Structure 1
Amino acid sequence: MEMSAEYTSFVAVGDSFTEGMSDLLPDGTYRGWADLLAARLAARTPGFRYANLAVRGKLIAQIADEQVPVAAAMRADVVTLVGGLNDALRPRCDMDRVRARLEESVAALAPTCRTLVLMRSPGRQGPVMKRFRPRMEELFTHVDAVAARHGALVVDLYGDDALGDPRFWDTDRLHLTAEGHRRVAEAVGQTLGLEARAEWRDPLPPAPVGPWAARRAEDLRFARRHLGPWIGRRLTGRSSGDGLPPKRPGLLPYDPPSP
């Protein structure tokens, strides 16, 4: 039996993490944890409505300006807000400005919904992300503080060692796999009071370590296919989401796509 919490509507706000990259469906669209959570909530509540305003690559200022006012006007039962990490991963970042825009966004959303959910985003293990961890941790400390001031819930994905396992991350080492998104959906659902269906914190079995040469070859493929273009976009101020619309701009009844 599910717990008694009932939600009639859900709006997701954010960037690629909330858009659902890299949980790719056969039709070429992305699913992701927010769609999975919406499907579970829709199965519980007839007429359930869902909007996903997230767009890959968005900075916190863009989220605050473009998505937050739209989400606030929808007055949904549940709103999730995840943002600021794209700022923290840029070569130059004004963290004071990031904190201010995040607080502004939370202050705008909290009075308009029944439950506001923030997250400490998961972080992949590895040398590239290690460089940015001090900024990430500064951001997540602020997430905790702003949530406490505005009565929001926080899902601590960063503090979970299991989700840092490279096997939960796509070949770009920046976005979660389908199984990673499934675990995030489970974590958010439990935070909202839904009955646990699985233990999202369980680690995977130990992975065999491949030959050194094979691991270095994979690192080179990653640098050529993903890291180089990503650095290029950071340096030129371009984004993978430039010109893209939100995946679900309207708060409408949700009929989950077939997997």
Structure 2
Amino acid sequence: MPPLGVLALGDSITHGGGELQWGVALQSWALWTARGLGLPYSPFATDGATVRDVVGVQLPALERRSARPEAHYDLACLYIGANDVRALHWAADAFERDLDAAHHALAARAQRRLAVTIPLDLGRPRAGRNVEEANAAIQRVAARHGALVLDLRGMRGRRVLMADHVHPTAFGQLAIAERALDVLAADGMDVLERPWELVRYETTRAGRLRSDATYAYRHAKQSARAATVTARVRLQARSEDSPR
């Protein structure tokens, strides 16, 4: 029985969807990767997911909602952790334990697995050291299970990330897919098309000015929200530390 193509699990970054960028649709990086490989695509990523959701919701859904629940895949993509590291109660040990369970399950279902590290500049306020701890876990677990690693630690900038510094833009999704295909090609997979070759767009001066203004407005809102959150957390910490 031939494998079914590309399986994708994760959060909203892999789920995809959102506004156009110069007329280019915002599609999941994993979908662009599947198109580049010329393979069918099976998405199970969900918005707001954590690694616990991958293990407890997405993997069981793969069994329930698949016409061939016993089937294998050419490639399984797992990009998870952006919501985990921004949670109020980050637990590195629990993250690695659940991530290990996810990779163990995927190793039995896919010939290749692709794990993705998290950009270090993630979020506003920044997730900070949590991201480094998560990335270390992602790399350790990938090594234990023989998975490939797509390194996005240095990904940043308004062209590829929205004002929240979390979600990729349409061009960001394409950029991730291009990097993913580089990793897969180096491991012997045949790349039939490059995602950037599948899109056409034109920019105008007026459009660029409008885009700059929109981004500046959204970034200012995000920065103000981040400052409020930071102040609230610090105030709560001082309150908890003060003598009663």
Alignment-mate amino acid for residue 91 of structure 1: L
Secondary structure of the equivalent of 1:92?
coil
Instruction: Show the counterpart of 2:5.
Output: 9
TM-score by length of 1: 0.66
- 1:169 is aligned, of 161, 164, 176, to 161
Q: How far apart, in 2, do the equivalents of 1:178 and 1:216 lie?
A: 18
Alignment deviations for residues 122-169 of structure 1 (CA, whole Å, 9 cap, x no partner): 34478622xx221111111111111111111001111xx3x2123321
Alignment-mate amino acid for residue 154 of structure 1: V
Deviation at 1:179, TM superposition (A): 1.0
Instruction: Show the counterpart of 1:153.
Output: 148
Change (3 A) 1:124 1:178: farther
Alignment-mate amino acid for residue 95 of structure 2: V
Instruction: Show the counterpart of 2:80.
Output: 83
Change (3 A) 1:184 1:148: same
Alignment-mate amino acid for residue 140 of structure 1: N
Between the two structures, name the one with larger relative contact order (CA 8 Å, sep ≥ 6). Answer: 1
Q: How far apart, in 2, do the equivalents of 1:105 and 1:126 lie?
A: 24
Change (3 A) 1:179 1:124: farther
Give me the CA root mean square deviation. Answer: 3.4
Alignment-mate amino acid for residue 31 of structure 1: Q
Q: Does 1:222 align with 2:222?
A: yes
Please say if residues 14 and 58 of structure 1, whose CA atoms lie closer than 8 Å, have aligned partners that are also in contact: yes
Please say if residues 36 and 194 of structure 2, whose CA atoms lie closer than 8 Å, have aligned partners that are also in contact: no
Change (3 A) 1:85 1:222: closer
For 1:44-123, list aligned pairs within 5 A: 48-71=39-62, 73=69, 74-123=71-120
Deviation at 1:37, TM superposition (A): 1.3
Change (3 A) 1:111 1:128: same
Gaps of 5+ in 2: 64-68, 197-213, 234-244
Please say if residues 33 and 195 of structure 2, whose CA atoms lie closer than 8 Å, have aligned partners that are also in contact: no
Q: Does 1:18 align with 2:10?
A: no
Determine which structure has more spread, i.e. the larger CA radius of gyration: 2
Deviation at 1:121, TM superposition (A): 2.3
Alignment-mate amino acid for residue 138 of structure 1: E
- 2:136 is aligned, of 138, 141, 147, to 141
TM-score by length of 2: 0.69
Q: How far apart, in 2, do the equivalents of 1:106 and 1:125 lie?
A: 23
% identical aligned pairs: 26
Instruction: Show the counterpart of 2:27.
Output: 31
Secondary structure of the equivalent of 2:128?
helix
Q: How many correspondences in the alignment?
A: 199
